[in-house]
């Protein structure tokens, strides 16, 4: 799925309950694992294997937990370094925000990609529907993201006026 569409569900969570989540962790957690895809696609081109898998460990629950831990520590370091952690968000809040975004992403991918194995190392995908769901799901998540971003912008403008 086109990576920016994965921001839709995370933006919805931010629009509904913005104070519960760290926006950086939630949004980065929604898209960062797709760097794995870029790496695997390049590797597959170099190996002359165009049909090889382009989803790996980070598109699994274990990968989401491990990746979210790494992201939470990195964000805590960066946010404290640039003094942008005004809310004093804990590493736990950073971790759970990232994990939510990450999980939403891999769940959506598991519906359309047969090489996403949520329960890695088991090579099964019980949630696979069909590749034909790819574009409707992408459009749906994109529209959800646009709608949620509008709600967020309205909230930001209203809070600045108050």
* pLDDT tens track for 107-157: 999 999 999 999 999 999 999 999 999 999 999 999 999 999 999 999 989
At 93 the three-state DSSP class reads: helix
Mean pLDDT of 13-38: 92
Is the Cβ–Cβ distance between 71 and 1 less than 8 Å?
no
> Can you give the residue ranges of every domain in the chain?
17-129
Q: Residue 25, by phi and psi: left (phi above 0), alpha (psi -120 to 50) or beta? A: alpha
H runs (alpha helix) in 17-90:
23-31, 34-46, 61-81
Q: What is the pTM of this model?
A: 0.89
Beta-carbon contacts of residue 112 (< 8 Å; ≥ 6 apart): 1, 128, 129, 130, 131, 133, 134, 137
Structure tokens at 60: 């699994």
Is the Cβ–Cβ distance between 25 and 101 less than 8 Å?
yes
The predicted pLDDT at position 45 comes to 86
In angstroms, rounded to a whole number, what is the distance separating the alpha carbons of residues 84 and 95? Answer: 17
Does 84 have pLDDT greater than 70? no
Is the Cβ–Cβ distance between 54 and 40 less than 8 Å?
yes
Residue 154 burial class via C-beta count within 10 angstroms: exposed 0-12, middle 13-18, buried 19 and up? exposed
Percentage of residues in the chain with pLDDT exceeding 90?
Answer: 66
């Amino acid at each position: 799925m086109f990576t920016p569409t994965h921001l839709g569900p995370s933006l919805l969570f931010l629009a509904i309950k913005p104070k519960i989540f760290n926006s950086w962790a939630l949004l980065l957690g929604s898209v960062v694992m797709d760097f794995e895809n870029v790496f695997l696609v390049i590797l597959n081109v170099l190996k002359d294997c165009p049909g090889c898998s382009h989803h790996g460990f980070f598109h699994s629950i274990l990968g989401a937990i491990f990746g979210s831990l790494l992201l939470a520590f990195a964000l805590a370091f960066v946010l404290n370094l640039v003094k942008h952690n005004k809310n004093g968000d804990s590493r736990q809040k950073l971790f759970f925000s990232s994990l939510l975004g990450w999980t939403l992403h891999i769940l959506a991918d598991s519906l359309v990609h047969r090489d996403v194995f949520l329960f890695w190392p088991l090579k099964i995908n019980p949630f696979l529907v069909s590749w034909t769901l790819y574009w409707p799901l992408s459009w749906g998540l994109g529209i959800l993201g646009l709608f949620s971003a509008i709600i967020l912008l309205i909230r930001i403008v209203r809070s600045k006026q108050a």
